[in-house]
Structure formats: C-alpha cells, structure tokens
Amino acid sequence: MAVTKSEPAAPPPQPSIGVPALAVVSGSLLSGAMISLSAFVVPVFLDTNTDAGHMLRQWARLYHYGHIYLPALCIATCGLYGYAALRKRAASSYSPQWPRYAAAAAATLAMVPFTWYVMMPTNDVLFGLEAAATAGTGSPELVAVRALVVKWAWLHVTRSLSPLVGAFLGFTGLLRELGL
C-alpha cells in the first residue's frame, strides 16, 4: 500500500486591501488637515489680531487655500471608497464589507451638504464683512468678528468629523476583511 504524503492546506487568499487602506489614510489626512485649521490657525488669528479687517482678510485667505485643496481631497477619498465598495461587491470572492466602504464614502461626502446648509450663512457674513473692510466702506467691531470666526471654527470642527467617521468605517471594514 502506497503512503501518500498529504500537502498542508493552503492558507486562504488574503483580501486585497490596498485601495480601501489608501482611502482610510486619505480620509484621516483630510479630517486632520481640517481640524488643524480650527485647532491651530484660528487661535493664532484670535491671539495676534487687533484689527478686525486684518482678521477678516486672514480668514478669507485661509478659506481660499482650504477651498483649493480640501474639496479635491474629499472627492478623491470618496472615489477611493466608492471604487473599493464596487470592486468588493463585484468580486468573485464577494466581500461582505462593501456596504461599510460605501457608508464611509457617504460619511465623508456628508461634509458637502453640511457646508452648504449649515456653514454658508456664517461664511457669507464673514465674506461680506471682509469685502466691506477691504473696500473701506465698513469698519466691523473686532469683538463681533472674533465671535464669528470662533463660530466658524466650531462649525468647521463639526464638519471635520465627517471624514473622520468615514475613516473609522473604512478602518473597521479593513479589520473585518483581515479577520481581526
């Protein structure tokens, strides 16, 4: 009778986590960059300005540069989560984590309607005051401008939690895919 040597069982294939991992890193970076504006930049404005017009110009520049970079990072992050969700759903080795990646994309993108509906009134007031101060047609009170900038900072922190929630959802999806 021939003795056959049994081959050890092959380990199950590891899931492909490159794209969702990149999305988690991207969303974490987005949230951290956004929170940093409120946590570090705005306090510098508040501590160093004695002129309302100057503070308004600084805030407008902060908004300008944030508006250039952060929406693009939000879209890229959502695209990565969306790609991961669609790929995981369509794969022959179907991943039950695809809804988690789709939810991460939605959570990250939720900052957009928050901006439009919750933050826009404060933004509009600040931009109006900045335009009046720059044109020399208005001299807003420093106390009022400080209060608006503080309000904006708190709203911005709240908005910054959206991509953080997305990163949390994406990270938990990664952990579950890895069986951890």
pLDDT at 15: 64
In DSSP notation, the chain reads -PPPPPPPPPPPPPP--HHHHHHHHHHHHHHHHHHHIIIIIHHHHHHH---HHHHHHHHHHHHHHHHHHHHHHHHHHHHHHHHHHHHHHHSTT--TTHHHHHHHHHHHHTHHHHIIIIIHHHHHHHHHHHHHHHHTS----HHHHHHHHHHHHHHHHHHHHHHHHHHHHHHHHHHHHTT-
For 52-67, write each residue's pLDDT tens digit: 999 999 999 999 999 9
For the chain, the domains span 18-177
pLDDT at 4: 65
pLDDT at 95: 72
pLDDT at 77: 97
Ranges under pLDDT 70 in the chain:
1-6, 8-15, 92-94
pLDDT at 65: 95
What is the reported pTM? 0.86
